[in-house]
Amino acid sequence: MSEVATIVSILGVFLLGAMSPGPSFVVVSRIAVSGERTDGLAAAIGMGVGGFIFAAVAMAGLTALLVQLAWLDIALRIGGGAYLLWIGIKIWRGANEPLEITSEDTAQAGSFRRALVRALLVQLANPKTAIFYASMFAAMLPASPPLWMLLVLPPLLFCNEFVWYAIVAFALSSSRPRSIYLRTKRWIDRAAGAVVGALGMKLMIEGMGAMRTGVN
């Protein structure tokens, strides 16, 4: 396989990964529905930055680092799981609250930055995303990739994540998809909160299980 074909294949695999429902999709969707279109765009940028960071770290040998430092893997799972659990609880608790969208609510100072930071933290809080990046690179990159390939992949993966979540944000910030969400908000939010919280609990249990195994 040529180097260009390898890059295209990697981008395709990561795009499919981004399109899979998960906490990132949930958070970007809620930000897009409850704020202005620019807030959804900020969340998409946050997801892209998270993808860039994961790609850069994976290039630097995250898999080898996690193998050598078991405590880091455990800390990532417990810490990331706790954050996702907190997000899930917040979504569940807010399910019954009406979502009143006004110009004052959506034009708050700093909302762009807050949306970007929240999306970035959700992206970085999931250690499975880090492992996915590292394992896909290990499986799909050639044994001795050229330097230019290592340099272009992180920016391209930023674009991969950003474009997909920008599409999500723009779609759900439109009037018809937004109205559908508002009518079914309570049940969608409860389902989303349960999924995100369950994922967080699963990560924490895995981390604590690995910690007990290490102690024994």
* DSSP string covering 12-51: HHHHHHHHS-SHHHHHHHHHHHHS-HHHHHHHHHHHHHHH
| Listed residue (9, 15, 58) closest to 161, CA to CA | 15
- Mean pLDDT, to the nearest integer, of 188-204? 79
pLDDT at 213: 74
pLDDT at 19: 66
pLDDT at 62: 53
- Contact at 8 Å (CB) between 64 and 57? no
pLDDT at 44: 92
| pTM, to two decimals | 0.63
Instruction: Return the number of other C-beta atoms located less than 10 Å from residue 195's C-beta.
Output: 18
| Listed residue (205, 199, 186, 147) closest to 21, CA to CA | 199
Under the banding of pLDDT at 50, 70 and 90, the label for residue 158 is very high
Under the banding of pLDDT at 50, 70 and 90, the label for residue 157 is very high
Give the chain's radius of gyration (CA, Å).
18
Residue 52 has pLDDT above 90, yes or no: yes
Q: Which of 147-151, 163-167, 177-181 has the highest mean pLDDT?
A: 163-167
pLDDT at 156: 94
Using DSSP, state whether 124 is helix, strand or coil: helix
Instruction: Determine which of 37-51, 79-93, 134-148 has the lowest per-residue pLDDT on average.
Output: 134-148
